């Protein structure tokens, strides 16, 4: 009998929450043989990462995942064997009662945000006492063996490497997006929140000896792009050239196509959690803009990851990477840190692939969740 899973997603940060839960739901079905319902309170956001979805449907089947609208008027439904509240969202009271009323109460998992902080390993899989015989556990994704690992589908790295070695496949994919970079252009993707440091980075790219082609999926950073260009609007697909820099705004694409975009680029600037993990699997140098939090709490999380990521780098590469990531996260000028990064580019490229392999040696998140349930029975 298939194990049933309910995943609850309350969309807070645009596409990060739904991005993670949609990937997880698909993987649990495809690789663990689970029956999954994904409850989403913002189907418009879901349609951005799954373009074939119906924003108006109360229930729909997408890639063998049952996607349900999570509305305030909660319908009576049977609780699943395993229930995931993603990122501490609040489950409906009636559903919690249904979890407890089962012959065997549901396993309740709070899937936490990704962090590299030291305390995460000690808190991973800890129980939280609940009434009526329910058992709730905290489940932390992470970068070490004492966490739940990262989302990674079976064969992902093999598919990525085959794609990157197939020049025709890469060109065909980019052509499908309307992208035709110069032969010697450095291809960069930029998916980011608003950032006052962007203008200084664009300035140095525009005056660089090597051409760069910047691919910007439509989103919040476009406003800063318009400010630098001194334009009022920039339609999707528009290509503009400023010195050595070619700028192009791309349409929002499916998750699988976003993966291929990251695989196609030489450098990926990403934001939040989902795109951050996918950029690591791309095996290319990257730049992460962590989601800003009150009192700069996010900077501790940034430094915790950096401490892990630079451990195997030379002093010069470490200094260059730290300078750039810290400048980007604080909105500071990017010119000098980018120039320093270019001087150690070969080392950073090799390191990105090595880091990817290192993380792939750990159990992936979906497998870890399924195994946790089996051990709990």
Residues designated as active site: 17, 273
Give the span between the Cα atoms of 197 and 205, in whole angstroms.
Answer: 13
CB of 211 closer than 8 Å to CB of 188: no
- Rounded CA separation 356/309 (Å): 11
The per-residue b/e assignment along 239-267, b for 16 or more CB within 10 angstroms, e otherwise, is: eeeeebbbbbbbebbebebbbbbbbbbbb
Strand 135-139 to 186-190 pairing: unpaired
Report the half-sphere exposure of 285 (CA within 13 A, side-chain side). Answer: 23
DSSP assignment of 218-281: SSTTHHHHHHHHT-S---TT-EEEETTEEEEEEPP--HHHHHHHHHH-SEEEEETTHHHHHHHH
What's the rounded Cα separation, in Å, for the pair 271 and 277?
10
Question: Using an 8 Å Cβ cutoff, are 254 and 46 in contact?
Answer: no
**Distance in angstroms (rounded) separating the CA atoms of residues 74 and 79:** 13
The 8-class DSSP code of residue 214 comes to E
| Rg of the chain, C-alpha, whole Å | 21
DSSP annotation of 172 reads H
The tokens of 19 are what? 């991005």
CA dihedral 80, 86, 89, 95 (to 10 degrees): 0
Asked if residues 112 and 88 have their Cβ atoms less than 8 Å apart, the reply is yes
Task: Show the CA angle centred on residue 367, arms to residues 365 and 372, nearest 5°.
Answer: 95
Residues 269/171, Cβ–Cβ less than 8 Å: no
């Amino acid at each position: 009998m298939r194990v049933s899973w309910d995943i609850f997603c309350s969309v807070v940060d645009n596409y990060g929450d739904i991005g993670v839960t949609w990937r997880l739901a698909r993987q649990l079905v495809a690789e663990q043989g689970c029956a999954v319902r994904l409850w989403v309170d913002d189907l418009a956001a879901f349609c951005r990462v799954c373009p074939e979805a119906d924003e108006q449907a109360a229930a729909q089947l997408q890639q063998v995942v049952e996607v349900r609208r999570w509305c305030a008027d909660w319908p009576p439904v049977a609780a699943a064997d395993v229930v995931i509240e993603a990122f501490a969202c609040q489950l409906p009271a009636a559903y919690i009662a249904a979890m407890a009323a089962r012959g065997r109460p549901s396993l309740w998992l709070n899937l936490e945000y990704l962090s590299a902080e030291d305390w995460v390993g000690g808190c991973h899989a800890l129980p939280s006492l609940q009434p009526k015989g329910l058992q709730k556990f905290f489940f932390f994704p992470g970068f070490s063996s004492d966490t739940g690992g990262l989302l990674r589908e079976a064969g992902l790295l093999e598919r990525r490497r085959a794609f990157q070695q197939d020049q025709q496949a890469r060109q065909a994919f980019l052509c499908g997006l309307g992208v035709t970079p110069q032969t010697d252009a450095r291809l960069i993707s930029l998916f980011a929140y608003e950032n006052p440091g962007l203008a200084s980075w664009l300035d140095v790219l525009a005056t660089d000896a090597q051409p760069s082609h910047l691919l910007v999926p439509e989103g919040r950073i476009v406003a800063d792009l318009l400010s630098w260009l001194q334009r009022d609007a920039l339609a999707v697909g528009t290509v503009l050239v400023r010195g050595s820099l070619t700028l192009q705004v791309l349409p929002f694409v499916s998750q699988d196509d976003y993966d291929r975009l990251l695989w196609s680029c030489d450098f990926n600037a990403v934001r939040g959690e989902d795109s951050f993990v996918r950029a690591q699997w791309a095996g290319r140098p990257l730049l992460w803009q962590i989601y800003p939090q009150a009192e700069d709490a996010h900077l501790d999380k940034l430094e915790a990851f950096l401490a892990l990521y630079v451990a195997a780098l030379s002093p010069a590469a470490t200094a260059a990477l730290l300078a750039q990531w810290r400048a980007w996260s604080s909105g500071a000028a990017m010119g000098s840190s980018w120039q320093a990064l270019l001087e150690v580019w070969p080392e950073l490229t090799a390191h990105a692939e090595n880091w990817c392999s290192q993380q792939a040696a750990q159990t992936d998140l979906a497998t870890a969740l399924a195994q946790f349930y089996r051990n709990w029975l």
